[in-house]
C-alpha cells in the first residue's frame, strides 16, 4: 500500500476566491467594527442579544433580528482551549489561548485570542478587555482587535454557563 506499488498520486492545489453578501444585519455589525464599536442585534422575540449577528435571524426562535445593541467592550471567559498544534494557514504563534468570551450585554459568547498573560493563568470566569490594533490597520473585521487581555477585575462565577455558548 504505497507509491512503490506503481499507483500514481498527483498533487492538485485548489484555490478559490469568493464574494460574501453580508446582508443588512451583519453590515451594521461590520460598519461598527470600522468605527471601533461592537454592534450586535436584539431578537424581537426572546430579547436575547446576538454578537456577531451572523445569520440575521435568531437561532432559537427564527425571528429576524431587530435593533442594534452596542455590547462590551469588556467580557468574561466562559471556556477556552490552549492551542499547541500547528496547522496550514495559521497566523498566531503557538501556544495560544483561544477563548469563548461573553461580552457584557451580549447573550452569546464569541471566540477570540487571549494575550498579555500566561496560558496557565487563564481561567473560566476571568474578566477581559479588547486591545485594538492601530486604526490604520482596521477593516470590517474582528481582527481589528489584536487580542483580549485580563482586566484584573475579580472573576465572575459562571456557574452552569461554564462551557456554554
Q: Which residues bind another protein (CB under 8 A)?
A: 1-3, 5, 7, 9, 12, 14, 20, 22, 26, 30, 33, 46, 48-50, 52, 58-60, 78-85, 87-92, 95-96, 98-100, 107-108, 110-113, 119, 124, 140-143, 145, 160-165
Q: How far is the CB of 36 from another protein (least distance, A)?
A: 15
Q: How far is the CB of 44 from another protein (least distance, A)?
A: 14
Reported in sequence order, the residue ranges of 11-126 that DSSP labels E, i.e. its strands, are 39-42, 49-50, 68-70, 75-83, 96-103, 110-114
CA distance 144 to 11: 36
Ordered alpha helix ranges (H), 55-154:
none
64 or 164: CB nearest another protein: 164
Using CA atoms, how far residue 143 sits from 67, 113, 134, 164, in Å, is 24, 10, 11, 23
Using CA atoms, how far residue 7 sits from 4, 13, 14, 42, 55, in Å, is 7, 20, 22, 57, 45
At 122 the three-state DSSP class reads coil
Q: How far is the CB of 161 from another protein (least distance, A)?
A: 8
Q: CB neighbours of 3 closer than 8 A, spacing ≥ 6?
A: 9
Q: How far is the CB of 84 from another protein (least distance, A)?
A: 5
Q: How far is the CB of 28 from another protein (least distance, A)?
A: 13
90 or 151: CB nearest another protein: 90
Amino acid at each position: 500500500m504505497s507509491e512503490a506499488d506503481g499507483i500514481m498520486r498527483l498533487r492538485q492545489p485548489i484555490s478559490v476566491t469568493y464574494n460574501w453578501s453580508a446582508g443588512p444585519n451583519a453590515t451594521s455589525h461590520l460598519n461598527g467594527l470600522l468605527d471601533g464599536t461592537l454592534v450586535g442585534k436584539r431578537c424581537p422575540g426572546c430579547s436575547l442579544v446576538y454578537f456577531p449577528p451572523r445569520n440575521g435571524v435568531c437561532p432559537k426562535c427564527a425571528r429576524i433580528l431587530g435593533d442594534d445593541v452596542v455590547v462590551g467592550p469588556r467580557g468574561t471567559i466562559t471556556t477556552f482551549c490552549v492551542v499547541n498544534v500547528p496547522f496550514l494557514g495559521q497566523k498566531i504563534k503557538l501556544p495560544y489561548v483561544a477563548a469563548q468570551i461573553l461580552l457584557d450585554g451580549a447573550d452569546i459568547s464569541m471566540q477570540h485570542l487571549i494575550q498579555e498573560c500566561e496560558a496557565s493563568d487563564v481561567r473560566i470566569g476571568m474578566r477581559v478587555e479588547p486591545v485594538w490594533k492601530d486604526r490604520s490597520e482596521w477593516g470590517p473585521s474582528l481582527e481589528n482587535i489584536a487580542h483580549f487581555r485580563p482586566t484584573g477585575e475579580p472573576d465572575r462565577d459562571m456557574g452552569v454557563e461554564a462551557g456554554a455558548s
